[in-house]
Amino acid sequence: MSRSKQVLEILELHGHPVVLAKRDMARPCKCRSELKQEALCNQCLGTGFKVKLTKLQAYKKRNNQGAMPDTRKEQDAGAEDVRSYLFYVAGAVDAGSGDIIVERANGIYTTHIISTSDHAQDGQEVVYTAIYTKRRSV
Ligand SMILES: [Zn+2]
């Protein structure tokens, strides 16, 4: 079995569906010209640009690299998730800094702001993409 096929099987078994919101930097959202909280905009999900949505199957894990230990303050933040995550998705996915991953759990949407992503290759083939998110989600 190829490594790509193995990754797909693992994601199918252990992953969950997410949506990648990729910003179109050439198309600013109209909320930018209005006096309103960008984070509340449904059109751009607070990114300030039109977004292209792609459904992906992802495996998520805590990104402990460089993370601060959990503190009282973080717990008090309530629903706000201040942790950093690593999402694995199959194949070559173009996810840049400032793009967003949206998760839905129990009817609640969580958006994770992407900080960076890496392609893992096997020879010429990109097997999976590792997407790192910033420590602050909304
Ligand atoms: Zn907007």
Instruction: State how far the Cα of 31 lies from the Cα of 90, in Å rounded to an integer.
Output: 33
Task: State the pLDDT at residue 82.
Answer: 63
Task: State the pLDDT at residue 84.
Answer: 87
Yes or no: say if 113 and 136 are a contact pair by the CB < 8 Å rule.
yes
Separation of CA 24 and ligand 1 centre (Å): 12
Instruction: State how far the Cα of 94 lies from the Cα of 119, in Å rounded to an integer.
Output: 9
- What residues does 51 pair with on adjacent strands? 23
Domain of residue 66 covers 3-20+55-137
The pair phi, psi for residue 72, each rounded to 5°, is: -55, -40
For residue 67, tell me if it sits in a domain.
yes
For residue 83, tell me if it sits in a domain.
yes
Domain count, the chain: 1
Tell me the average confidence (pLDDT) per consecutive run of 10 residues in the chain, 138 residues long.
88 95 93 66 87 96 66 45 86 95 88 94 93 78
Separation of CA 51 and ligand 1 centre (Å): 9
Separation of CA 13 and ligand 1 centre (Å): 35
Separation of CA 33 and ligand 1 centre (Å): 9
For residue 100, tell me if it sits in a domain.
yes
For residue 33, tell me if it sits in a domain.
no
Task: State the pLDDT at residue 72.
Answer: 43
For residue 81, tell me if it sits in a domain.
yes
For residue 38, tell me if it sits in a domain.
no
Tally of CA atoms within 13 A in the half-sphere of 91 that contains its CB: 6
For residue 104, tell me if it sits in a domain.
yes
CATH of the domain at 116: 2.40.30
Q: What is the pTM of this model?
A: 0.81
For residue 118, tell me if it sits in a domain.
yes
